[in-house]
Amino acid sequence: MNRPFVHPYIPNTAPDVRAEMLDTVGAASVEDFYADVPADLRLGRDLDLPEPLVAEQDLARHVSGLLARNVPTTERLSFLGQGTYHHHVPAVVDEVIGRSEFLTAYAGEPYEDHGRFQALWQYQSLMGELLSMDVVNVPTYDGFQATATGLAMAGRITGRRRVLVASDVLPAKLSKVRDYVRVHLDLEFVDPVEGTADVAAIVARLGDDVAAIWVETPSRTGAVEHRLQALADAAHAVGAILVVGTDPVGYGVLTPPAEQGADIVCGDIQSLGLHQWYGGAHGGFIAVHDDPRFVMEMPSRLFGLATTDVPGEVGFGDVAYDRTSFAHREEGKEWVGTAAALWGIAAGVHLALMGPQGMRELGEVLLARTAYAQRALGAIPGIRLTDRAVHLREFAIDVAGAGLTASGIVTALRAEGIEPGVPAGEHELVVCVTETTSQADIDRLAAAVTGLVAASAAEAASTLDPIAEPEEHRA
């Protein structure tokens, strides 16, 4: 078609206006504006891209058609976790973060963006209550980044390099943290015992060259650390810092790490009001006590409350902006950029809706369903729980005794519409339950696994010597 290209997203493609504007600035064509781009760098052809779908209806049909090829967890029975969790998101959360005012804002100032400042300050405050800490950042990207930065902070504060890693850490998270801090810190791993920290072994390795003990709770397998205070005391005795990576979802019922001596508490807020989004909706929090030594090492923005010219009125602004790379480039602490503010607003709304009672009930449901699922699966012959710690939401089973592999279970159960968990090694399967996983769902998983175990046993029997091994020996 020869008609001019006019696009709804680009008002000044309207030909008359375009000509008028060129005329106003005295340009013959838009080519004039590119005078500084050397001819040999000019592309000189159209980009080789798919045919566009300029009519909205055609675009919608195309994209929806692609997405229709996804089969979401609403149509599968999912026991997947390992960093992204399926929690219920109250509708009010989505309503608030879907508001154009929040969704499309960016970096406005405290006056015209008063609402954004207040919403994020409230997020900080609500998280502060949940975590019993006085300082919480505007969210960074995710729990990976938050923990990497938390450790880096510990390094800067102490001027030391050694970090004792007390817990099982999610492999991807460890990958991130390791690459992020390796110039500044050395990670040393102290194997956990029964899912939680080997306090004695850690104490034995502590010294005045240790920057931090790093605890993850819940750990990679969902184990809840129950000896934080001992670790904190030991760390503090040598001037080291206790950095706790955690998921805040349990602190309606669990004691927050700050009340057990943690100095830096960090983690991910995806569990607090964010959908799974194929792993694409994470935000990182870093919480510290109100101690300038710690606060001044935080790279993220921190919003603060302040008085105004009107008595009794409160306004908001940036706390200690000079910490940041916005202010001082490489002299700032790490860097700050577009991260996850909207998710922070979401988490704030979520906590406001849940209230103390809701968070308590949620914590209880999670503990109860986890324990129930552990019993249901652990009771299957040949399957055992990998440890005896308290678990929140996730736990691992070892399926070797049933003659199965973790990936074999996954493959078999996917055919039944079940995602039974995430394999970790040949025989370990990490299973996740949340408040959206009902008793019936867990029972269905247990039945399906029982079926596999039985089939495996039958197959084993058929390939064994006619006189089968006694059952007892195989458990």
Footprint on residues 131-190 left by other proteins (CB under 8 A): 132-136, 138-139, 141-145, 152, 172-173, 175-176, 178-180, 183-184
Residues numbered 92 to 111 that lie near other proteins (CB under 8 A) are 92, 94-111
Of the candidates 430, 139, 82, the residue with the CA atom closest to the CA atom of residue 268 = 139
Q: How many residues bind its own copies (CB under 8 A)?
A: 15
Residues numbered 72 to 91 that lie near its own copies (CB under 8 A) are 74, 88, 90-91
Q: Which of 2, 28, 159, 329 binds other proteins (CB under 8 A)?
A: 329
Of the candidates 276, 244, 278, the residue with the CA atom closest to the CA atom of residue 261 = 244
Q: Which residue has the tokens 């760390």?
A: 235
Instruction: Please state, in angstroms and rounded to a whole number, the distance separating the CA atoms of residues 267 and 338.
Output: 18
Of the candidates 412, 411, 367, the residue with the CA atom closest to the CA atom of residue 390 = 367
Nearer to its own copies, 42 or 62 (CB): 62
What's the closest the beta carbon of residue 417 comes to its own copies, in angstroms? 14
Instruction: Please state, in angstroms and rounded to a whole number, the distance separating the CA atoms of residues 405 and 381.
Output: 15
Decide which of other proteins, its own copies, none touches 5; Cβ closer than 5 to 8 Å per partner kind. other proteins
Q: Which of 24, 29, 100, 104 binds its own copies (CB under 8 A)?
A: 100
Joined tokens for residue 455: 């089939």
What's the closest the beta carbon of residue 460 comes to other proteins, in angstroms? 27
Joined tokens for residue 174: 């460890």
Q: Which of 275, 382, 395, 412 binds other proteins (CB under 8 A)?
A: 275
440 is an interface residue for its own copies by CB under 8 A? no
What's the closest the beta carbon of residue 144 comes to other proteins, in angstroms? 5
Q: How many Cα atoms are found within 13 Å in the side-chain-facing hemisphere of 219?
A: 27
Nearer to other proteins, 48 or 465 (CB): 48
**Cα 368 → chain centroid:** 23
Indicate the residue type of 317. Answer: G
Q: How many residues bind other proteins (CB under 8 A)?
A: 218
Contact 399, 382 (CB under 8 A): yes
Of the candidates 156, 163, 169, the residue with the CA atom closest to the CA atom of residue 213 = 163
Joined tokens for residue 331: 């002299």
Q: At 299, is the secondary structure helix, strand, or coil? A: coil
What's the closest the beta carbon of residue 425 comes to other proteins, in angstroms? 15
Decide which of its own copies, other proteins, none touches 454; Cβ closer than 5 to 8 Å per partner kind. none
55 is an interface residue for other proteins by CB under 8 A? yes
* Contacting residues toward its own copies, per CB under 8 A: 8, 56-57, 60-61, 64, 74, 88, 90-91, 95, 100, 353, 435-436
